[in-house]
Every structure is written in structure tokens, then in C-alpha cells.
Structure 1
Amino acid sequence: MENFQEYLAEITSRLSLGAKVVGREGTVERFDQSTAPDPVMTVFPHSEEDVIEVVRYCREKGLKCFAQSGGHSWRVKNHRTIDVVICMRGLNKVFVDEPVQTVTFGGGIIVGELINAVAEKEFDVTTGLANTVGVVGAFLCGGLGRYVGRYGYGVDNLVAVNLVDSDGTIHRNVNGTTNPELWWAIRGAGAAFGIITKATMKIYPQTNGGLSWTCTLIFSNPSRETIEKVFKAINSTHYGDSMFVLFSFAFVPPMGYPSLVIALWFYGPESQAEKAWERVLDPSLRPDFKQTAILPAERLNDSNDATCLAGYRRPGIAMGIERLEITAFFEIWDLWLEFGQSKDAENSVVVMERFSKEKALETSDEETAFSRFHRGIVYEVSIAPAYKDAKLDQKANEFTSKVRDVLIQKCSDPGKIRAYPTGSGLNEPLENIFGGKERVEKLLSIKKKWDPENYWGAFFDTE
């Protein structure tokens, strides 16, 4: 493990001039540092060929490698076995094909970069909800974003990819025609089958000039009565394909009051937005803070940047639920309040999101490994303790586990635990991630063909 100088000399000779190799001092921080790898070296490839060479070199030397772009997937499995991190950020070139209405980009691109490139040409593209998230990592496991109601999940809009397998062989233009079995598997469990170095996806002409309406409401130190009124307004609103709501529990600066924060979004003019959101905008709810804005497409996700900073320990999870009961809402609030008042934990949040899912449900289970098991859920919930002192790990895991139990017992149908692929816990059964025994068996059979040694075991642990 401590042969960095030897590795450096050997691998540098195989890489392009634009590539870079660093030791432990150059390790890239992740969104969740609690299970971040501690690699002997990190490689920053400059081309697809560099990625191929790194994988081949690691296989020759008996090293385990792991690719990341934004670094936002939670709880990296087998993180202690990873010797080499491949930071893909240098592979971020973008080409917008306007006549065909597609965009092709490198495997290291992040959401903000993709939005900017496509918006410049007056198109929409399905994206994640935060600018710093890696596009490929998010989309291979679904891909939630503000446009889900209109265009479906990110994974539904993929056209083709280039993939480097566990032997360091690149497979170009993988799609439903060239390799339907692999295409099905990577769209939902992609990180378990290789490294995506390039991808092409659909884009759509902007409407309303790409402008969307947004409104932030903050209820500081809210009473139970206020929380219940806001909850009922959110729960009883009809969600059209141009709507999205994110609400969270957060300690809002500068005073750090425990607050219920509501972020409303509407793709269209203000007059239509206010009508669509009239129940949540009811003046009788009396928020302590209200701010509306009209956003151009390139600023779509700016409001989420502050909550996506790397470097914290975040042993959280993300899951889907069929309903949100008010008793569960209060119970989760109390659990969050108790943990968040721990020293160094004031950045901890619980986030709940709701989208229209009609468009997403048009994709069948036969088309992707990302199944209707996830597509039809009503709310996505992220439990995100955040702190830097490792001494809080046990307490954070207990908090996460308790919230998960509440969501399962009070907000889910019996026997249907829906763990979101990029936010599942370390020991979550595969059936809860991929939607049942038959789907897991199908994935494992494909896995045996493409990665029989489970070399890509940081996400999909088959042992």
C-alpha cells in the first residue's frame, strides 16, 4: 500500500501529459466523509485513454480503483479496500447537437456545467438538484431533478454511453441496440458495471424562455399548529408537471433557529405559479420569511449549493415513501431537533421532495433497472446528519436509523422499503434498492458476465 513513489513512476509513464497523479495529500473530499476512501493515490485523467490505462494498471498491480466526479454518493461500500481514486473531473467537455436535440458530455461533468452548456443553446436537460453533483453518478441511479415531471428521470433520457469494464476494455456506444442486456442494467445500477467515460442524452427546447418561478418560505421556531397547517397545504396540493417542492428541517443562520424551510418551484410565468401554489402561499400561514424570484435556466439549482458542501461526515440515507403522515412528520422533527442540537451537528438536515411522476411512470420495468418500485413514490426523503467530529458517528447512525424506522412504519406500505440507490445504507438489502428478488437475480446474472470478481464493489456488494 505504501508504494506511492513506485506507483507514481510506473503509472505516469502510461498517461497523457494532461493527466495528474497525487498521493494522500491530494485526496478529493466527498459529500460524505464518513465512508470516504483513503487511497494511496488519486489520479486525474485527461482522456478516456487515461481511464483505460489506470484501470489496466490497477488490475496488473492488484489494486482496487474507484471513480468519482462530484463525489456525492453516500456510504461507499468496502471503502477501506480502495487503493486508487480516479477523479473524473477533467473529462467534462460538452457538445450540444441542436438539430438532433442531444448533448454529449464527458464522465466527469457536474450538473452546473451541463446546465450552463445546454441553457446557452436555449434547451432544457434533465439534471440533478445540485450544481456540484456528478451527472453520470446521479443519472445511472435514477437522476432526480426539477424537470422530472416534464421529461422523466435522468436515466430515461440517456441515449448511449462509453463504458470501461473491470478489465480496462472500453465499450463504445453502448445502447439498447448494441447491447440491450447491459443497457438495461447500467440504467439503474451503472456504477456496478464499469466507469462511464462519455454519455449522450436527450435535450428539449426551452419554454417560457427557460424562466422559472421560485419561492422560499421560512417558518422559524414553528409551533405544532403551524407545522400541521403547512403540512396539510403541501400534502393537498395537486402537482402538475411543471411543479416541484422541497421542504426541509434546518437550523437557519445567522441565529440558528430550528426552522421549516419550504422551496417552491414552477416552470412558467408568475401568475400561473401563484395559482398552482395558492394553498402553500396562503397568507394565513404567516411565514417569518418569504422571497420570490424569477430564475434563468442556468441558475436553476443555485439555492441548493449551500447544502451540498463536501467535507462533512454524513452517514445518512435517502428513501422513497408512499405517504407522509403528520404524526411521522412530528416524530422526525423531534428526532432531528434532538440530534441537531448536538455540538458540531447544526448543519444536519432532513429534506423531503415531491414531484409529478406521471411522465416517469411511462417507462416500463423492462426498459431500465431503475424500476417502477421507485418511480411511483410520492415523496423522496433524505436524512442527512452533518458534522466533522468522528465521535458523533454512533449518535448519527442511531438518528438515521430511527428516522428510517419511522418512515418504514408510518409512511410505507408493508414489505416495501424503497432505498434510493445512491443513498442506501451500507447494509441495505438489494431487494430494497432494486425492487424485488427477481430484479436482483437478473442484475446479478448480468453482473457475473461483466464483473465476475465484483471488482466494482464500492456500490454493488454481491458477497
Structure 2
Amino acid sequence: MTLLPSLIFAVISGLTGLSAATTELRRADYTATCQQIAAAVSSESKVYYSGSPTYNKDNEHWASSSSQPSACSFEPANAQDVGIALNILGENQTPFAVRSGGHTANSGFSSTPGVQIALFQFSEVVYDANAQTATIGMGLIWDNVYSELDKYGVTVVGAKTTGVGVGGTVLGGGYTYLSNQYGLSVDNAVAFELVMPNGTVTSITSSSDPDLFYGLRVSFNNFGIVTTVTMKTYAQSQVWGGRISYAEAQWDPVNTAIANFVSKVTDPKACVYSTTDYASGAVVIMNILFYDAPTYPDGIFDELLEIPHLEKDISTRAYSNLVQTLPANASSGLRAMFHWVPIEQFTLPILEMVKNQTLYYGELLSESSGFLISYDLIPFLPSLYSHSDTPSAFPSSRDSGQGYSFIEVYYGWTNASDDDVMLRLGAESAAYMKQFAVDAGQDVANALIYPNCAPPGTAMEDMYGDALPHLQSIRSAVDPGNVMGLTGGWRF
């Protein structure tokens, strides 16, 4: 199994006659495109090459498996320059990538050997108190957005962890601590500034173009490059919550407390996010407790708080500060994969099964390269998908609007030689857990996979279901020249 990547490389580079000289020639072609873009765009937009610190920043990703060297990186300063670049890329048929926060785990989804477009200069947050909206640049991470909106006593529905970019979240779904109250990030988008594949810059709303507005939500960069998104804002007081961690010896009482919480608590302001990490033979269970007010109602979290713990960082705090209590960036630089398992309800048998999966695969992988595996338990109310004013591409009619809780599977490792085995075992574990839930009577057999957590090779039908033909027709109308086919990611 571990020889497969080198065998594929041999087939591509040797048997098909793609010599090193040919590879260099193609890179020279890509560099010529870089130079053409640099000459055509405004002086505020910049092109960078290998050896520049900005080039390194533009190409670096949270997961090392997602990074690759590009011929150049391009940081556009305005949407018009994005349009100029798209025209040149399409004319030259040069591959490109679009990077917002760079938090994808899948190889080639926001990286390229061609032109790396990094949206960092789209970094403004403009709050409109009258409209109760915020217009947000796609070059930001949510930490910046939350901190800026703190000044006005409002927030938006973005990511639940620190270091995550705006683009992938708001174009790919977006679950967070506020979702029980307000839905997903995509449910809260009211307008997109879109650079279409032909270079035209336009604002897309539900009234200006209902089909394209429908498609843009949970469709990533299939229809062009989004430079800003306008989202609903909500009044935000201080919140109560933070991180509490337990040793392996407390696993059973923690599972019991979580099962009791999800079976009894229907308050949409309350949330528990539990993650179990296994690394180097050690297990740590870490919970984020959240209540959307300065104090929580008596009894909701008492059982979890009373269990002996390793450490606790819980207080009344700003929402932006609470998001930073989950140290997602601790795993930055590893190779990585995600998977997603829908769950109707976290019962005690489901939680016990997740415990067994963590121990089984943790011990199985103990001989692999340095690794970290996490099974994250994220309970939501069934009304989760009922908050959108207009239809979006996810969930499709195949899900009948059912809001799922889920298990987010994360495997991280260091050596590329372990890629195949880690991807295979992660998928194996996810399949087992889903079947366990089905066998337990939970109606999740036909649930769609969340695109932001779908591993490489996932069939488009398994993410978009009945919505796929409609999305394909929108794509054909918007991008007849298949310009966006020159970039990576999920393609309609």
C-alpha cells in the first residue's frame, strides 16, 4: 500500500513520457502566465515567486498534505483584478487555486502547481447597523471577524474553532455553537460579491439571481471566485463557557453525562462539543461547554463540571474569546484527513462505540509515523436545518430537512508514506460507526456527507444528493468554458 504514490508517479512521469524536461517546460508556461497577470492588473495587486516570504505564506496550508509549490502566488487587491486574472488563466488554460484560510485537508483543493490566488487583501469587516448585516472579506479567519464585531456587540454564524478561514466555512456549510439558534453559516449569507468565470464582477442575492444564490451556498468555487460575503448579524452579549479536559479514567462518567445532556437539554442556547484525542498511547477527553448568555441555567452542565478533571478554562467571556479555547492549531503542519458520520442522537451505546473505535485505531496506528487521531462528538437539535429563509444546496431533499448531530473524524500524521493507510483506516472507521448507528435504529443510512469533512474520492452524489443535477445545470450556464475546472476541489 505505501508504494502506491511512487508507482503512480512512475506511471505519470515515466510510462506516459512526461519527462523532467517536459515538467519544467510546463512550469515555465505557468510562470509566463504569472508574468502576464502581473503586467495586466493594478499596482495594488501583487505577484510573488519562490523565495519570497509572502509566496511561502500564500502557499502554506494548515495541513501539510494540502500544500504544494506553485509557479507563483497572486494576491489581488480588488475584485476587478481577480476578473483580469481569471480571463488570463482561462485563455492560457493554466491551473490555479483559490486560498482563503487554507484549512482544507484534501490535497490540491486550494493549492496548485500553477497560480496560487491568495485572498488575504480582502480583509475588511463592514458592519451595517441599519441592515443588521456585516460584509466580510474572504481573506479573513473567523477570529478576526468575531473580534471586529465585538466592538458593535454583534456576531455572525461562522466557524467554531480558531484559525479557520471565512471562505471554506461560508461556502461549504458552517456548523457552530450558534447553529441551534440560527442555522449554518450558509443559512445566514444574504449576498455574495462574485467574480464570474468570464471575469465579470457581480453581487448575487436571492432576488437578483435565485439559482446562483442557491448554488453558491455549499458549492465552494464552482461558479467563480467569491471575494466578500454579506451575512446577517445577531446581538451578542458575553457568553459562558470554555474548555474542560479529563483523563482516560473519567471516560465512562463523561460519556454518561453527555448522553444525559443530549437526552434532556433542548435549550438552543446550550451546546456541548466533545473531542477525544489519542496520541502516543495517551487519551485526553476535552469538552467545550457553551451557553449563549453570561450565566447558564442551573443544572444544565453540572454533571460534566462535577467530574474530576485535568484542567478547566471556563468563565464568562466574549464570544470571540470562547472560540479560541479549542486549540485547533495545535495539529497544524500534520498531514490530515477528515470524515463525517451523521447521528440522530448520541446515546450511551453510541458513545461507548466511539470510545472503542478511538482505542482500537489508536493502538493499531501506534507503529505509524507520529500521529494524532480525534473523534469529535457534536450534538445538535433536529431543528438545525430549519433556519434558512431560502433553499440552499445542502441539505438536499434526500435528507428531508432532518438536522443531524455528527461525529467528525480527524486523523493527522507526519509521513507521506503513511497516507494510504491513514486514509483507508479513517474511512473504515467512519463506515463502521455509521453502520453501527443504522443497526441501532437511527435513520442515517441515506444522510448526505458534509462537504467540508468529506475525504478525497467522495462521490458528489453522496454530498449533494438530489441537488446535484440542478447544480450541474447552473454550472454549465455560468461557466460554459469550464474555467473553474482549472482549479481543485469538489467539481460539479
Tell me the TM-score normalised to structure 2 length. 0.83
Counterparts of 1:316-331 in structure 2, within 5 Å, are 316-324=338-346, 325-331=350-356
Q: What is the deviation of 1:5?
A: 5.1
- 8 Å CA contact 1:77–1:426 kept in 2: the answer is no
- 8 Å CA contact 1:36–1:75 kept in 2: the answer is no
3-state SS of paired residue (2:136): strand
Give the unaligned 5+ runs of structure 2: 1-25
Q: What is the deviation of 1:280?
A: 2.8
Q: What is the deviation of 1:15?
A: 2.4
> Does the C-alpha gap of structure 1 residues 192 and 362 become closer, same or farther in structure 2, counting only changes over 3 Å?
same
- 8 Å CA contact 2:97–2:109 kept in 1: the answer is no
Q: Which amino acid aligns with 1:402?
A: E
3-state SS of paired residue (2:393): coil
* 2:474 alignment partner, one of 430, 440, 446: 446
3-state SS of paired residue (1:286): coil
> Does the C-alpha gap of structure 1 residues 264 and 151 become closer, same or farther in structure 2, counting only changes over 3 Å?
same
> Does the C-alpha gap of structure 1 residues 417 and 298 become closer, same or farther in structure 2, counting only changes over 3 Å?
closer
Q: Are positions 1:311 and 2:333 aligned together?
A: yes
* 1:50 alignment partner, one of 66, 69, 81: 81
What residue is the counterpart of 1:218 in the other structure? 245
Q: Which amino acid aligns with 2:294?
A: P
Q: Using the aligned pairs only, state the percent identity.
A: 20
- 8 Å CA contact 2:33–2:88 kept in 1: the answer is no
Q: Which amino acid aligns with 2:339?
A: I
3-state SS of paired residue (2:335): coil
- 8 Å CA contact 1:244–1:356 kept in 2: the answer is no
CA distance in 2 between counterparts of 1:59 and 1:198 reads 22
**Deviations, residues 308-342 of structure 1 (Å, cap 9, x unaligned):** 65422102223432244145223322234225634
CA distance in 1 between counterparts of 2:362 and 2:261 reads 21
Q: Are positions 1:370 and 2:397 aligned together?
A: no
CA distance in 2 between counterparts of 1:251 and 1:84 reads 37
Counterparts of 1:147-296 in structure 2, within 5 Å, are 147-170=178-201, 172-206=202-236, 210-222=237-249, 225-226=252-253, 228-251=255-278, 257-272=282-297, 274-281=298-305, 283=306, 285-296=307-318
**Deviations, residues 6-56 of structure 1 (Å, cap 9, x unaligned):** 344322112232322223452422223324444222111122122112211
What residue is the counterpart of 1:125 in the other structure? 156
Give the unaligned 5+ runs of structure 1: none
Runs of 4+ in 1 over 6 A off after TM superposition: 78-81
Q: Which amino acid aligns with 1:91?
A: F
CA distance in 2 between counterparts of 1:303 and 1:375 reads 31
> Does the C-alpha gap of structure 1 residues 195 and 363 become closer, same or farther in structure 2, counting only changes over 3 Å?
same
* 1:75 alignment partner, one of 103, 106, 109: 106
* 1:106 alignment partner, one of 116, 137, 152: 137
3-state SS of paired residue (1:275): coil
CA distance in 2 between counterparts of 1:58 and 1:334 reads 48
- 8 Å CA contact 2:269–2:292 kept in 1: the answer is yes
- 8 Å CA contact 1:239–1:355 kept in 2: the answer is no
What residue is the counterpart of 2:61 in the other structure? 30
> Does the C-alpha gap of structure 1 residues 92 and 392 become closer, same or farther in structure 2, counting only changes over 3 Å?
same
CA distance in 2 between counterparts of 1:78 and 1:238 reads 38
What residue is the counterpart of 2:13 in the other structure? none
CA distance in 2 between counterparts of 1:340 and 1:239 reads 38
> Number of residues paired by the alignment?
450
Q: How large is the Cα RMSD of the aligned pairs?
A: 2.7
What residue is the counterpart of 2:377 in the other structure? 352
CA distance in 1 between counterparts of 2:61 and 2:479 reads 25
- Larger deviation, residues 16-25 vs 394-403: 16-25
CA distance in 2 between counterparts of 1:276 and 1:107 reads 37
What residue is the counterpart of 2:426 in the other structure? 400
**Deviations, residues 147-201 of structure 1 (Å, cap 9, x unaligned):** 112222111111111111222222x221111111111111121321111012211
Q: What is the deviation of 1:306?
A: 3.8
* 2:458 alignment partner, one of 409, 428, 431: 428
- 8 Å CA contact 2:276–2:374 kept in 1: the answer is yes
CA distance in 1 between counterparts of 2:158 and 2:333 reads 23
Tell me the TM-score normalised to structure 1 length. 0.88
